[in-house]
Chains A and B, each alone.
Chain A
Amino acid sequence: MLVGESSPPQTGVVNVVAVSDETPHGPAIPYVDPLGDPFLRTRFAVPARPVTFLRRERLADHLDQALLTPLTVVNGAAGAGKTLLVADWAAGLGRPVAWLTLDAAVQGPVMFWAHLLQALRAGGVTVPGETGFPVDAGEVNHTFLTRLAAQLSGSDRIVIVVLDEYDRVIAPEIAEQLEFVLHHAGPALRLVLVTRTEPLLPLHRYRAAGTMTEIRNAELAFTPQEAVALLELHGLHLSVPAARALVDRTRGWAAGLRLCALAAQESPDPEVYLKEFEAGHSTVADFLLAEVLKRQTPHTQDLLLRVSVLDRFCADLANALTDRTDAEPVLAGLHRENAFVEDLGHGWYRLHPLFREILRAHLRERCPGLEPELHRRAAQWLRRSGWLPEMLTHGAAAGDWEFTARALVDDLAIGQLLTRLCSDDLADLLAGMGPEATSPATDLLRAACELSRHDLERGLAHLHHAEQQLDASGPAAARLSCALLEVLAARLAGSPRRAEQAAAAARELQREVPAHLLDRHPELPALLLTHLASTQLWAGRFDEARAALTAVAGSPGGASTAIAREESLGHLALIDYLDGWPSRAERNACAATSEAERFSLPQPCGSGLGRLVLAAVAVDRDELGRAQALLDQTPDAVTRDPVTAAGRAVVTARLLLARGKARAALAAADPAVSADVASPWAEGHAALVASAAHLAEGRPDAAAEVLRQVAGGQPACAVGAARAHLAAGDRLEAVHALDGIAAEGRVGPAVRVRATLVRAQAANTAGDVATARRLLAEALQEARRERLRRPFLEAGPWLGPFLASAPLQQLAAGWLTPGPPARGEPLRPAAEPAPLLVERLSGREREVLQRLARMMSTEDIAADLYVSVNTVKTHLKSVYRKLAVNRRHDAVRRARELGLL
Chain B
Amino acid sequence: MRYEIRIDGNMSEVLAKVFPELDHVVMSGQTILYGPVVDEAHLYGLLARCQSLGLRIVEMRQVPE
Which of B11, B12, B51: most chain A CB closer than 10 A?
Answer: B12
CA distance A251 to B8 in the complex (A): 11
B54/A354 in contact, CB under 8 A: yes
A290/B53 in contact, CB under 8 A: no
B14/A365 in contact, CB under 8 A: yes
Find chain B residues with CB under 8 A from A693 CB: none
Find chain B residues with CB under 8 A from A358 CB: 15, 53-54
Chain B's closest residue to A259 (CB) is B54
Q: Given A283-B31, A354-B53: A361 and B9 within 8 A (CB)?
A: no
Find chain B residues with CB under 8 A from A802 CB: none
Find chain A residues with CB under 8 A from B15 CB: 283, 286, 358, 361
CB of B17 closer than 8 Å to a CB of A? yes
CB of A79 closer than 8 Å to a CB of B? yes
CA distance A197 to B10 in the complex (A): 25
B14/A357 in contact, CB under 8 A: no
Find chain B residues with CB under 8 A from A251 CB: 56
B53/A281 in contact, CB under 8 A: no
Interface size on B, residues (CB 8 A): 20
CA distance A631 to B8 in the complex (A): 57
CB of B43 closer than 8 Å to a CB of A? no
Q: Among the listed A256, A282, A357, which residue makes an inter-chain contact with B52, where contact means beta carbons less than 8 Å apart? A: A357
CA distance A78 to B50 in the complex (A): 10
Find chain A residues with CB under 8 A from B18 CB: 357, 361
B54, chain A: closest CB distance, angstroms:
4
CA distance A283 to B14 in the complex (A): 12
B54/A281 in contact, CB under 8 A: no
- Encoded as 1 (CB less than 8 Å from any A CB) or 0, chain B from 6 to 24 comes to 0111111111011000000
A284/B52 in contact, CB under 8 A: no
Q: Given A281-B9, A283-B31: A365 and B17 within 8 A (CB)?
A: yes
Chain B's closest residue to A284 (CB) is B9
CA distance A256 to B53 in the complex (A): 12
A364/B17 in contact, CB under 8 A: yes
Q: Given A361-B17, A365-B17: A287 and B12 within 8 A (CB)?
A: yes
CB of A77 closer than 8 Å to a CB of B? yes
CA distance A353 to B29 in the complex (A): 25
A164, chain B: closest CB distance, angstroms:
15
- Interface residues in A278-330 (C-beta closer than 8 Å to B): 280-287, 290
Q: Among the listed A78, A287, A362, which residue makes an inter-chain contact with B51, where contact means beta carbons less than 8 Å apart? A: A78
Interface size on A, residues (CB 8 A): 26
CB of A255 closer than 8 Å to a CB of B? yes
CB of B55 closer than 8 Å to a CB of A? yes
CA distance A364 to B20 in the complex (A): 12
A5, chain B: closest CB distance, angstroms:
37
Give the secondary structure class of A's interface.
helix
CB of A196 closer than 8 Å to a CB of B? yes
Find chain A residues with CB under 8 A from B55 CB: 283, 285-286
Q: Among the listed A79, A197, A255, A286, which residue makes an inter-chain contact with B12, where contact means beta carbons less than 8 Å apart? A: A286
Chain B's closest residue to A249 (CB) is B9
Find chain B residues with CB under 8 A from A282 CB: 9-12
A283/B7 in contact, CB under 8 A: yes
A296, chain B: closest CB distance, angstroms:
16
Find chain A residues with CB under 8 A from B10 CB: 280-283, 287
CA distance A358 to B14 in the complex (A): 9
A744, chain B: closest CB distance, angstroms:
62
Chain A's closest residue to B54 (CB) is A285
CA distance A284 to B15 in the complex (A): 12
- Interface residues in A382-397 (C-beta closer than 8 Å to B): none
- Interface residues in A81-122 (C-beta closer than 8 Å to B): none
Chain B's closest residue to A167 (CB) is B51
Q: Among the listed B9, B17, B52, which residue makes an inter-chain contact with A283, where contact means beta carbons less than 8 Å apart? A: B9
B29/A281 in contact, CB under 8 A: yes
Find chain A residues with CB under 8 A from B13 CB: 365
Chain B's closest residue to A365 (CB) is B14
CA distance A280 to B17 in the complex (A): 21
CA distance A281 to B56 in the complex (A): 13
Chain B's closest residue to A363 (CB) is B14
Find chain A residues with CB under 8 A from B52 CB: 78, 353-354, 357
CA distance A225 to B9 in the complex (A): 25
CA distance A255 to B53 in the complex (A): 11
Find chain A residues with CB under 8 A from B53 CB: 78, 285-286, 354, 357-358, 361
Chain A's closest residue to B8 (CB) is A283
B52, chain A: closest CB distance, angstroms:
5
Chain A's closest residue to B11 (CB) is A283
CA distance A856 to B55 in the complex (A): 50
B9/A78 in contact, CB under 8 A: no
Find chain A residues with CB under 8 A from B8 CB: 283
Chain A's closest residue to B52 (CB) is A357
CA distance A290 to B11 in the complex (A): 11
Chain B's closest residue to A280 (CB) is B10
CA distance A354 to B51 in the complex (A): 9
B64, chain A: closest CB distance, angstroms:
27
B53, chain A: closest CB distance, angstroms:
5
CA distance A285 to B17 in the complex (A): 15
A196/B51 in contact, CB under 8 A: yes
Which 3 pairs, one residue from A and one from B, show the smallest C-beta to C-beta distance?
Answer: A283-B9, A281-B29, A285-B54
**26 A–B contacts from the bound complex (CB under 8 Å):** A77-B51, A77-B56, A78-B51, A197-B51, A253-B54, A280-B10, A282-B11, A283-B7, A283-B8, A283-B11, A283-B12, A283-B15, A283-B31, A283-B55, A284-B54, A285-B55, A286-B53, A286-B54, A354-B52, A354-B53, A357-B18, A357-B52, A357-B53, A358-B54, A365-B13, A365-B14
Chain B interfacial positions (CB closer than 8 Å to A)? 7-15, 17-18, 28-29, 31, 51-56
